[in-house]
């Protein structure tokens, strides 16, 4: 017996009966199963999409939080950049001031200003000033009795006592008895000799590099033989002892025993440092300066090991 399904539909117009065959039933069942599968699939897809939305919202929240952090970091970096730019500007201004001051120092020292690294320029200025300070402390310079009149210079003259033309191997300062005499450089007292003849009370200092200075016709000594003295230290008082026509100080400077003109040393100072090299050519200044430069460079441990070449006045 064939299976049939009768579907009855009642309306105001009457009742109608529809008979569904086996094939149609299968189609309807297939459509039902398909619809159920679609509903289940849609439900699963909706569930999946809801989860994806939740994950997306969480990531969005994380991104927003990270974006806020990055915005703050960017702001901090901008502030740091601004501070660094200000600091760089200040450093450049200070560096320019240092360069300007260094240029002034180079002018005073007589060192040619260059466009090289400021570190090298500083090394050069340091070395130059160190060499000059060392030489001015260890080689006689200036007046041992201050700003007084020079009554007799170095060279041939008519001797005031004998009347004969002789070599005057020093210079005379017109000072009264008791005028203080100061060491013109660091050194050691080689001789203190009391006498009523010749040079009278006599004192000689040995300085560095073969230089010596001597003082005649003194009243009294303030240092003893073998005593170390420093530049500017009181060493004696002027007088009128020995062969002398009046109170004065006879002052000599020698290099390895040879008398030099004291006037060149009398006028020598930091303001005219190279003048001595030009006026007194009997000393190998180039050799001496080079050795002092090498020693000063090693002691200062200069970063650039710059060596300043002072003018060769002996050539």
- pLDDT tens profile 252-268: 999 999 999 999 999 99
Q: What is the pLDDT of residues 173-226, one digit of tens each?
A: 999 999 999 999 999 999 999 999 999 999 999 999 999 999 999 999 999 999
Better-scored residue on pLDDT, 102 or 69: 69
pLDDT band of 303, cuts 50, 70, 90: very low
Residue 191 lies in a domain: yes
Q: What is the pLDDT of residues 241-254, one digit of tens each?
A: 999 889 999 999 99
152 and 57 share a domain? no
64 and 157 share a domain? no
Strands 211-221 and 201-206, sheet pairing = antiparallel
Q: Which two tokens stand for residue 237?
A: 């008082």
- Give the whole-angstrom CA distance, residue 13 versus residue 216: 162
Residue 307 lies in a domain: no
Residue 131 lies in a domain: no
pLDDT band of 12, cuts 50, 70, 90: confident
Place of tokens 């003048």: 275
Residue 150 lies in a domain: yes
**Contacts for 195 with CB less than 8 Å, ≥ 6 apart:** 201, 202, 241, 242
**Total domain count for the chain?**
2
pTM of the full predicted structure?
A: 0.63
Q: Which of 228, 243, 267 is the last residue of a domain?
A: 267
Mean pLDDT estimate for the chain: 84
| The pLDDT of residue 271 | 86
CB neighbourhood size of 235 (10 A): 24
pLDDT band of 307, cuts 50, 70, 90: very low
Residue 61 belongs to what domain range?
5-71
Residue 115 lies in a domain: no
Q: What is the pLDDT of residues 71-120, one digit of tens each?
A: 999 999 999 998 998 888 888 777 666 666 656 555 655 555 555 566 66
- Looking up residue 198, the CATH number of its domain turns out to be 2.70.70.10
Query: Can you list the positions of beta strands (E) in the chain?
Result: 5-11, 14-20, 150-152, 155-158, 165-168, 171-173, 180-182, 187-193, 201-206, 211-221, 228-229, 234-238, 249-255, 258-260
**Contacts for 88 with CB less than 8 Å, ≥ 6 apart:** none
Q: What is the pLDDT of residues 127-182, one digit of tens each?
A: 788 889 999 999 999 999 999 999 999 988 776 666 677 889 999 999 999 999 99
Q: Calculate the CA dihedral of residues 151, 153, 157, 161 and round it to 10 degrees.
A: 40
- Give the whole-angstrom CA distance, residue 190 versus residue 180: 19
Report the DSSP beta bridge partners of residue 221. 236
CA 158 to chain centre: 56
150 and 259 share a domain? yes
Strands 180-182 and 201-206, sheet pairing = unpaired
65 and 151 share a domain? no
Q: What is the pLDDT of residues 106-130, one digit of tens each?
A: 565 555 555 556 666 666 767 788 8
Q: Give the chain's count of helices (H) and strands (E).
A: 5, 14
Residue 260 lies in a domain: yes
DSSP assignment letter at 248: B
Residue 258 lies in a domain: yes
Residue 136 lies in a domain: no
Dihedrals phi, psi of 211, to nearest 5 degrees: -90, 145
Nearest to 290, CA basis, from 259, 260, 314, 266: 314
């Amino acid at each position: 017996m064939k299976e049939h399904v009768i579907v009855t539909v009642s309306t105001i117009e009457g009742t109608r009966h529809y008979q569904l065959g086996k094939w149609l039933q299968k189609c309807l069942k297939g459509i039902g199963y398909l619809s159920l599968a679609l509903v289940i699939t849609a439900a699963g897809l909706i569930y999946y999409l809801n989860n994806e939305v939740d994950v997306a919202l969480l990531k969005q929240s994380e991104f927003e939080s990270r974006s806020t952090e990055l915005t703050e970091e960017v702001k901090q970096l901008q502030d740091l950049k601004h501070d660094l730019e200000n600091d760089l500007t200040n450093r450049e201004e200070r560096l320019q001031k240092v360069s300007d001051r260094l240029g002034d120092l180079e002018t005073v020292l007589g060192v040619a200003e260059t466009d090289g690294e400021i570190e090298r320029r500083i090394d050069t200025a340091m070395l130059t000033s160190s060499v000059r300070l060392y030489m001015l402390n260890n080689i006689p310079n200036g007046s041992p009795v201050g700003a007084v009149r020079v009554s007799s210079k170095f060279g041939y003259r008519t001797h005031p006592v004998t009347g004969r033309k002789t070599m005057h191997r020093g210079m005379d300062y017109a000072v009264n008895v008791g005028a203080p005499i100061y060491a013109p450089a660091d050194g050691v007292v080689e001789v203190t000799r009391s006498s009523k003849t010749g040079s009278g009370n006599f004192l000689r200092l040995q300085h560095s590099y073969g230089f010596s200075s001597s003082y005649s016709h003194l009243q009294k000594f303030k240092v003893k033989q073998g005593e170390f003295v420093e530049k500017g230290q009181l060493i004696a008082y002027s007088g009128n002892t020995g062969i002398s026509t009046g109170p004065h100080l006879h002052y000599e400077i020698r290099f390895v025993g040879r008398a030099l003109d004291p006037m060149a040393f009398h006028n020598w100072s930091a303001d005219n440092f190279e003048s001595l090299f030009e006026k007194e050519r009997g000393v190998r200044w180039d050799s001496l300066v080079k050795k002092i430069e090498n020693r000063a460079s090693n002691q200062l441990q200069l970063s650039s090991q710059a060596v300043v070449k002072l003018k060769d006045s002996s050539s």
